[in-house]
Chains A and B, each alone.
Chain A
Amino acid sequence: SAVISQKPSRDICQRGTSLTIQCQVDSQVTMMFWYRQQPGQSLTLIATANQGSEATYESGFVIDKFPISRPNLTFSTLTVSNMSPEDSSIYLCSVERASYNEQFFGPGTRLTVL
C-alpha cells in the first residue's frame, strides 16, 4: 500500500475562516479522492482530484466551498472555506494504487469549527 500523509492532523478553527488540508503520497498516483467522515458516520465522497484536470465534485459539494488543487501526481490540497460548525468532521484523502480500484486512505484531518 502507499504511504500517505496529511497535514494538519487536527485543527480547531473559528467560523468564517478557511483551512487548507494537504495530502502527500510517497509515489505517483493518478486518482486521488477526498472524503468527509462526520462523527460516528460513514465516509462520503467530496470530490475526485486528477492531475491536470478540474476536480469532479459529488452532489452536495461545490467548488466554492471545497476548492481542490492537484498540482502533481503526489500531492493534493482540499480547502474548507468560510467554515461553520457543521463543517466539523474528519477529512480524509485516499489514493488508488496497485490494482484497479483499490483505495488506500490517509490518516485524516480532524477539524473542529467553533
Chain B
Amino acid sequence: GENVEQHPSTLSVQEGDSAVIKCTYSDSASNYFPWYKQELGKRPQLIIDIRSNVGEKKDQRIAVTLNKTAKHFSLHITETQPEDSAVYFCAASDGSARQLTFGSGTQLTVLP
C-alpha cells in the first residue's frame, strides 16, 4: 500500500518568513495530494490540493508543488503569520480507492 513520509516534524519560523514542508510517497499510482491544517483541538481542514496532471498550484500565500518523477510534493507558505501556527498533514490518494494515506504531520510555529 501507499506510504507517505513527511518532514520536518517541527518547524519554527519568524513571522513574515516562508515555511516549506516536504512529503514523499511510494505508490506511483497516487494522483491526488491534499494538505490539511489542524489547529489544536480542531478538525483537519483542507487548505490546498494538487492532482498529478499539474506541477504547481497556488492560493494566495499557499502553494503546493508536485514532482511525479521523484514522487515528492511540498507545501510552501509565504509571509507567515502567527495564525498559520498549526499541525500540517500531507496525504496521498491513488484515486481508484479514494482513500487517503496521511503523513506524520509537521508542527509549524510562527514566532511573532
- Which A residues form the contact surface with B (CB < 8 A)? 1, 31, 33, 41-45, 48, 58-59, 92, 96, 100-108
| Chain B residues with a Cβ closer than 8 Å to the other chain, count | 21
Q: Cβ of B99 and Cβ of A48 under 8 Å apart?
A: yes
Q: Cβ of B99 and Cβ of A33 under 8 Å apart?
A: yes
Determine whether B98 belongs to the interface, using a CB cutoff of 8 Å to chain A: yes
Tell me which residues across on chain A come within 8 A of B101, comparing CB atoms: 45
How many residue pairs, one in A and one in B, have C-beta atoms under 8 Å apart?
A: 51
- Which B residues form the contact surface with A (CB < 8 A)? 1, 32, 34, 42-46, 49, 89, 93, 95, 97-105
- Name which residue of chain B comes closest to A4, CB basis: B43
Q: Cβ of A42 and Cβ of B103 under 8 Å apart?
A: yes
Q: Cβ of B43 and Cβ of A107 under 8 Å apart?
A: yes
Tell me which residues across on chain A come within 8 A of B49, comparing CB atoms: 101-102
Residue of A59, A103, A108 near B100 (CB, 8 A) is A103
Tell me which residues across on chain B come within 8 A of A44, comparing CB atoms: 102
Q: Cβ of A45 and Cβ of B46 under 8 Å apart?
A: no
Q: How far is the CA of A108 from the CA of B99 in the complex (A)?
A: 18
Q: How far is the CA of A44 from the CA of B102 in the complex (A)?
A: 7
Q: How far is the CA of A96 from the CA of B93 in the complex (A)?
A: 12
Tell me which residues across on chain B come within 8 A of A104, comparing CB atoms: 46
Q: Cβ of A105 and Cβ of B98 under 8 Å apart?
A: no
